[in-house]
Amino acid sequence: MSQTGLVFHEHFLLHDPGPMIAGSPPRPYPYLEPEDHVEHPRRVGRVKELLDQSGLTERLRALEFEPASLDDVALFHTREYIQQVLTVSARDGYGDAGQGARLSRGSFEIALLAVGGACAAVDAVLDGEVANSYALIRPPGHHAMPTQGMGFCLFGNVAIAVKRAIAHGRIERAMVLDWDVHHGNGTQEAFYDDDRVLMVSLHQDGLYPENSGLVGDTGGESGAGRTVNVPLPAGTGDAGYMAALERVVWPIARQFQPELIVVSNGLDASRADPLGRMMITAGGYRRMTRATMAVAAELCGGKLAVIHEGGYSQSYAPLCGLAIIEELAGVDSGLADDLGAQARADRMRPAYEVGLDAEQALAEVVAAQSAFWQLEPA
């Protein structure tokens, strides 16, 4: 079966984090009108709309899925935390499941559906039902911690899906590749002491969470070398990301030999994101996807599940999403290039050149990871 599976449900568009409120603790706005939350339903709804309008949806296999069971969610989260999300979600008004993980009535059920979607995307690939898969879900998951939500994330979609696949004996070794612009701290926490999961995070240095995703954080005792943090300087674009993949990520993946690759796909490293300061183009995301597919083909029979995380530009993130899903499905409509002014973006330096500060950052990663893996010195 060579099709690409798609996970999507209209209910993902019903999770409402409320208006964006500044300050910690949040303050009411005496001077400014509250604005839409950046983790707005439209950021995912517009990706789906573009898939539909471009004709891609009908070429994908719609995967069936259900809300995750509480036992599955408890593979990563404490029962107390799960109950807390349920309690807040059952009340009227807006609440917070931790640090900046706002929710409202019904968010609990939608978050369970998102976890179930991630699990279905992984299962369909492991079952051989599809060649690869994309889970277009929200709320996102990679910041969620065992005992609290963080950064718009309620439950760790990717962490749970991978833990579940291992718990069910489907696989013994998986690689998570998180290229969201923010550090995948929750997923890192899930596998920090686990030698069965290689957790790679490419993220903007010093962005979010604070003091998280440092080069020297390489895994706990039993997971030594299984955490690979690649903090890249603001302004890094297609060339810097490809260099990180080619010089660091692929050589480590080849030595680790995963049976499955799961991408935590943040589109907030795009050149237009309001929360990130990176410069990946839609074409860059396409090339990163192509390279990941090639490595998956080489190492694990092509088994690749891509799970939606952040991405807050309502105009540009959908084009990046389209480019990625087209690549998974072996289609190139040219639409993402056209609408994204790809030719103009390609003329920007970060698209074709690795900056000196990115070179320095990669050298630091190579130095830190050389304790565990054979890497070419920078």
Site residues (vs Zn ion, CB under 5 A):
180, 182, 266, 268, 310
Q: How far is the CB of 310 from Zn ion (least distance, A)?
A: 3
Classified as helix, coil or strand, 141 is coil
Of 194 and 273, CB closest to Zn ion: 273
| Residue closer to Zn ion, measured from CB, 116 or 276 | 276
Is-contact 307 136, C-beta < 8 A? no
Active site residue 308: no
Minimum distance between the CB of residue 138 and Zn ion, rounded to whole angstroms? 12
Measured from the CB atom, is 180 or 337 closer to Zn ion?
Answer: 180
Q: Which amino acid is at 127?
A: D
- In order, the DSSP letters of 296-309 are HHHHHTT-EEEEE-
Among 56, 112, 144, smallest CA distance to 321 is for 56
Contact 187, 178 (CB under 8 A): yes
**Pair of tokens at residue 60:** 């994908």
Shortest Cβ distance from residue 155 to Zn ion (Å)? 16
Catalytic residue from among 40, 77, 143, 183: 143
Please name which of 155, 145, 149, 135 lies closest in space to residue 44, comparing C-alpha atoms: 135
Smallest gap from residue 111 Cβ to Zn ion (A): 17
Contacts of 243 (CB under 8 A, 6+ apart): 354, 358, 362
Identify the burial level of 101 via C-beta atoms within 10 angstroms of its C-beta, where 0-12 means exposed, 13-18 middle and 19 or more buried. buried
79-89 and 107-126 helices, crossing angle to 10° = 130
Which residue's CB comes closest to Zn ion? Answer: 310
User: Whole-number minimum distance, CB 139 to Zn ion, in Å?
Assistant: 12
Residue showing tokens 């690649």 = 230
Q: How far apart are CA 271 and CA 181, in angstroms?
A: 11
Instruction: Compute the distance between CA of residue 116 and CA of residue 108 in angstroms, rounded to an integer.
Output: 12
Q: Which is nearer to Zn ion, 164 or 182 (CB)?
A: 182
Closer of 243 and 275 to Zn ion (Cβ): 275
Q: Are 351 and 343 in contact (CB under 8 A)?
A: no
Whose Cβ is closer to Zn ion: residue 180's or residue 205's? 180
> Which amino acids are annotated catalytic?
143
